[in-house]
Each structure stands twice: as structure tokens, then as C-alpha cells.
Structure 1
Amino acid sequence: MASNTLEPIDPRDAYELYLADVEGELSPNTVEAKKYRLGFFIRWCEGEDNDAEPRCINLNRLSGRDLLRYKNWRQDGINKVTLKTQLSELREFLRFCVSIDAVDESLPEKVTVPSLEPEENVRESYMDPDEATTILSFLEQYHYASFDHVLLLLLWQTGARVAGIHGLDVDDINADDETIQLCHRPEQGTRLKNGEQGERIVAVPAETVAVVQDYVDVNRPPVTDDHGREPLFATKNGRMDKRHLSKHVYKWTCPCQYNQPCPADKDPMDCEYTGGYDSSVECPHNSSPHCIRRGAITHWLKRDVPDRAISDRMNVSVATLDRHYDARSEEERAEQRRQYLSDVTDAE
């Protein structure tokens, strides 16, 4: 498209048009995730450089050089997975902008989205909340109250280990109290890592309980296991084992499964990692259950939830929490301490 056919538009106006356009097609959670990711770009456009003028007041004038400046600005203080997710979202937004004569048709491809090298294995660190929201929003929209939707939802909401999720029975879900009870039952084939010390009751949002209840009412097969218990995560043959639960996690955290671009730019139709649960396990860009657990713990820490409360909820000592699960940067920890001390001082 020639630049002289473009129609001037403010970045925020285009942003609002885009959100309105997708609102009727996507779930509220997905729209909210898009709003969050693109908000950084809009704020960058409205921000000022040394000349005290907004960086961009008309998208027609946005250039590849501007996009590189934004990328350099945004990458400070975030991990590579988050940067890739947000730049992919920006590229999608700019493609919409092409359709409304706001930017040149070549501009979206000038967004340089970073690739995730296999040796980086960034997924072994922790799942970013932005990524978790995207996965859960996709499952909510296209696979609501399915086995996989409930599995990923509870892993993220509770931060539990696979062993804890594996041992859940239908009766462990208390809809009235909005809680989930994790129990150690070794004589019946379901153990918690820390035995009876790992037993706990975890509070979850009412919306989560509703999804679980819909799964039980509609999609869960009416079976019992070898001990007469009603496993929450069941197949027609009884309780699904931990190994297969993990395979379901690996599959649904492959980016292509929840409609995200492949970090290796592979076509899902030709990729050796698509097609089944066994092949998905080998994908270098998926997430392990432990990665989800660590991401959930870090998410709570970033929300200033006390270490002791997280320790009790996730069944992990404070020392282990700090040593192995806290993925916050030193800068993030320092900023949270500063904010905490500022709040205490203001309250005095």
C-alpha cells in the first residue's frame, strides 16, 4: 500500500478499534490479555523523548526504526519469552492496522520477534503469567470445562505438583467453601511428595470451582478407580497416571496448540512435534508441570503475598522457596522491598 493512501490515526484510537474488533470473537480473558500486552506499546507511543514531544501521534508515520526503538525500550527488565509474546501481539495489531489503512502493508513484518534457541531452554525457568493467561483463555474459549482445561487451570491456580493433582477425587472439591483438599493416600496409590505434611486445603476462585463443577457434570467419565474412589482426572478406565497427566501439560503448552506462532517458525502441519501427546513431549518450546508450578509461585511473590502464606499454599519451605522457586530478578525484589517500606512509612 502506498503511503499516500493511508488515513491518519492516533495510536490509541487504532488500539481501541482493534480491541472492539476482537471483542466479539474472543473470550473476555483473551481480550484483556491483548489489552495488557499492547498497552506497553501505546504508552511508549504517547511517551516523550528528549524533545518533549510524543514519540508517535500518527501511526502513518511509524517506521521500522521506531519499532526497533520500542523493542529496545521494552526488553529492559523482562524475560525473552515475555518479550517474544508481546512483540508477536504487536505484529498482529499492526496487521489489523494495515486493514484499516493506518500503516504500510510492509510494516508488520518489520517487527523483529526474537527466536528462542533450544539451548536457552527458557521454559525450564518458569511460566510467565502472560503466557498462562493466553493458554487458559484459549482453553476457556475452545475447550471449556474439558479435561485439559481443568488440568491446566488447577495446576496454575494451586501451584500444586503433579502428584497432588493426580490424587484429587471429585469429593476433594468443595464448591460451597471454594476450596480443594490435597490428601496423602499411599495405601490407595496416591501420594504427596511430603507425605502427610503435604496435606492442605487450598482456596481457589469461585470461577475456578464453577469450571471444575461443569467438567464433573458434563465431561468427566462416571468411573471409579481400583479403590472405589472417584478420581477427578479420569479416563474410561479409571484414574489417569501421573506420566500421562504430564504429557497433557506438555502438549497444551506447545505454542502452536494455543494459536501462538512457533518460536522456530515451523509450520505445525510439517512439524515433527505435533500430532500426538508423545511427540509433543519432545517440543523444545513447551513447559513442564514444574515450570508451571514455579511460575505460579513467582506470580504470587510478585503480588506481594507473604512468603509464609505461599509456603503453606504450595507446600514448600521458605528456604526452598527462595532458593529454587523464586524467579524474580534482584531488581524486582529490591523494588518490592522499597514499595513495602514506603507503604509502612506512609502508614505511620
Structure 2
Amino acid sequence: MSQSTETPPSSYRIRIAPTADGGSRVPDLSPREAAERWLNKIRASKRDSTVSAYHYQLKHFVEFCEESGIGSLSNVSGWDLETYETRRRQQDVKTISLNKELGTLQSFLRYGARIEQVDEELPEKIVPPPVPKEERVNDMRLSSSRAKALLEYLDTHEYGSRAHALLALVWFTGARLGGVRSLDIGDYDSDEEFVDFHHRPDKDTPLKNGLDGERMVGLPRDVCDVLDAYVEESRHDVHDDFGRSPLLTSSVGRPVRNTVRAWMYLATEPCLHTGCPHGNDRDTCEYTIQTKASQCPSSRAPHHVRTGSITWQLNRGVPIETVAKRVNTSVRILEDHYDQPTKREELEERRRKHLGRLGFTDDGGDEE
């Protein structure tokens, strides 16, 4: 019996009203009508989650126009844009959120200029604010010391368990949740020591970057040993709704995304290897059940494990270009969002690179 795939949240669907004149002239669109047309247009080339994000980022501007009595997009002025930005700032919107909102609004108004709804110079009057680095970087991550302690605990007490396989796989690949969930047992090669990520959107396992996300990622031998033990002892011999054999399984098929997320929360609870930092007793703590694990203040989601893994790989001296290929992202994004060394880690990195040069030797010095 296969597991029914998770029903995704209702994506943002748009009804397009016909123009009153049948299209014989440029219609006078309201901001809402124009926004709906733009969102429908980009749906062909963007993921549903991206279109939904644009919808929520743009809806604040649409509501501002309606509250301000702006019934036609063609009536939007540079002063209106300034007033809107000022209002959003007064609502204590974070700079990173305002940057995204104004960037989306600018893209929307460029579309408006192409269809002759606004002057072509209007979009360029928007200047999204630069985002401070401390806002760009999300410092929530699984630290390398905690990852090491958790994996050592699992090595000793739960070798080859699902939790062991999941944590080891994400930590040593830096893969996203969707990528790990997408793996079939045939995508894992123990002899050659790698996993092969494939984009299969028609079978419920798309990769975030589509075909560009397809790649082979090498694994250390001891991680393969963990996966081999998991496949042999803990993996359920089941298929998903498309007849495929997932690498990571629930008892009835391929797990949905929220299930994998909950498994990771459970696998990263610190009370597995040490005393609870919050003073709770693991035997009675409600956070140790799957439906409550995300509420543990110290448990971590797959993205936090990915972030910690990327930082750890970089700190171990793996070239940033290599890490970028392994985790399927760009060098720029790694530098801005994922390379998060602590001051001590930065010190150790500098020490590894340069400390050996700071000695008096017979060569390399200036001579008088």
C-alpha cells in the first residue's frame, strides 16, 4: 500500500476578468486587476511557491492603492510610491522584507510599463533599500559540535536507524529537505559512495532549482555504512504512489515534507546526548513526540542542519566553489547567507592557513 502524497497548500489561483471592450484598446486596469494579470503571466515560468510569495509581497501595495482611492494603475505616481514605502517603514517592516516587497513591486510596474499601463520611468523611481548583512544571514543552524555529539550518540545507541540515516545524509551532503525526500533507493550507490539527485516534478519530487539541481554528491565511507545498515535493518520495503522505491521511507511509502521535517526535529533534540538545556525530563517531555518536536527550542529543522553543514564544510577547508556544487547554490549566496563562522571559527580558519608561516626560519625572511 502506498502513502498518499501530501496535499499541498492551495496555490494562488487567479480569475482574469475579460476587458469590457474586447481588447480593441488598452484597458484601464485597477492595481488589483493588473496584479492578477501579471501573476498569471509569470506562473508559466515560476514555481507556485514563488508566485504565491509575489502575491503576498504585492498585496500590501494593492491594498494601499485601494485605501488611497487609486482606482487605475495609470494614476500611480512617484509620490504614491514614496508614500507607500514610508507607510511600510512606519509599520516596522524589516529591511529584508521591504527590500523584497519593493523589488517585486518594481518588477510588477515594469510589466505595467510594457503593457502601457504606467509610464516607463515609473518603475525606476523605486529604490529597494540595501539589506544589512545581519538581516541577510539567518544564524539559526545546527552547530558542528552538536552535530558531532548527535552523530556519535546515534553511532553508539541507534546505529542505522532512520534518524541516524537522515541526520548523516543531510549533514554530509548539505542537501535541502526536498532533495533528500526525492531520493530513491536506486539513487544511492554504496560501492561508488554517492547519492544522485534527480528532478522529477511529474512524480511529486521536484528539486528547488529544477534540472539545474540535478547532481551527484559524494559521501564518506562511514556515512555509506550508516545508510547500508539503515537499508538493511530499518527501511520499509514500500513504494510510493508512482511505483518508486524511496530511500527514506515511512511505513506506508514516501514521507511527505512535513514528516521529514518532524523526523529531523526529533533527531536533533539535544537531550539525546546530554541533559535538557531547558530543565525538562526526557521521559515526560511532550517535545519528544513527533507532532510536538518542532516546539522544542533547541531542536533544528532540515534547513538549519543544511546551514550548519555548509558552514562546517567551508570551515573544514573545502573550496567554496566545491561546496556550492555539492549543495546546489551559488558562491554569492553561500557568502551572503550560509557561510556563518563564529569568531572562534574564523580564528581557527586563519590559524590553519597562516600560522605556520609566522616563524623564524632560514628562508623567506628579509636579509640586511
TM-score, normalised relative to structure 2: 0.57
**Structure 1 residues 228, 312: closer, same or farther in 2, change over 3 A?**
same
Structure 2 counterpart of 1:296, from 306, 309, 330: 309
User: Among 210, 217, 238, which residue is 1:223 paired with?
Assistant: 238
Counterpart CA distance in 2 for 1:190 and 1:344 is 49
1:194 lines up with 2:209 in the alignment? yes
Q: Give the deviation of 1:313 after TM superposition.
A: 0.7
Corresponding residue number in structure 1 for 2:292: 279
TM-score, normalised relative to structure 1: 0.60
Structure 2 distance, partners of 1:194, 1:286, is 27
Kept after mapping to 1: 8 A contact 2:324/2:334: yes
The one-letter amino acid of 1:174's match is D
**Is residue 281 of structure 2 the alignment partner of residue 267 of structure 1?**
yes
Q: Give yes or no for the alignment of 1:185 onto 2:194.
A: no
- Structure 1 residue 225 displacement after superposition: 1.1
Q: Does 1:242 align with 2:257?
A: yes
For the residues of structure 2 that align with 1:149 and 1:341, how far apart are their CA atoms?
A: 36
One-letter amino acid matched to 1:205 = P
Q: Secondary structure at the match of 1:176?
A: coil
Counterpart amino acid of 1:313? R
Query: Equivalents in 2 of 1:289, 1:124: separation in Å?
Result: 14
Indicate yes or no: 2:244 matched with 1:205: no
Matched, 1:340 2:353: yes
Structure 1, residues 127-149: CA drift from partner, whole Å, max 9, x if none? Answer: 11111111112122222111111
Structure with bigger gyration radius: 2
2:174 corresponds to 1:159: yes
8 Å contact from structure 1 (residues 125, 327) kept in 2: no
Contact 2:185/2:245 (8 A) holds in 1: yes
Equivalent-residue separation in structure 1 for 2:307 and 2:357 (angstroms): 29
Instruction: Show CA shifts across 1:300-324 (max 9, x none).
Output: 1111111101101111111110111
Structure 2 CA distance for partners of 1:235 and 1:343, relative to 1, 3 Å: same
Distance 1:198 1:291 in 2: 20
Alpha carbons of 1:216 and 1:271: their partners in 2 closer, same or farther (altered >3 Å)?
A: closer
CA contact (8 A) 1:124 1:288 kept: no
In the alignment, residue 207 of structure 1 is paired with which amino acid? D
- Letter paired with 1:162: L
User: Identity over aligned residues, as a percent?
Assistant: 36
Aligned to 2:333: 320
Look up the SS of the partner of 2:148 in the other structure: helix
C-alpha change, 1:236 and 1:322, in structure 2 (3 Å) is: same
Structure 2 counterpart SS, 1:278: coil
What's the offset of the Cα at 1:243?
A: 0.6
SS of alignment partner, residue 202 of structure 1: strand
Give the letter aligned to residue 261 of structure 1: G
Query: SS where residue 238 of structure 1 aligns?
Result: coil
Would you say 1:143 and 2:158 are equivalent positions? yes
Contact 1:159 1:292 in 2 (8 A): yes
Offset of 1:337 from its aligned partner? 4.9
Give 1:330 deviation, angstroms: 5.7
Residue 329 (structure 1) shift: 3.6
Deviations 1:56-96 (A, max 9, x none): xxxxxxxxxxxxxxxxxxxxxxxxxxxxxxxxxxxxxxxxx
Aligned residues: 224
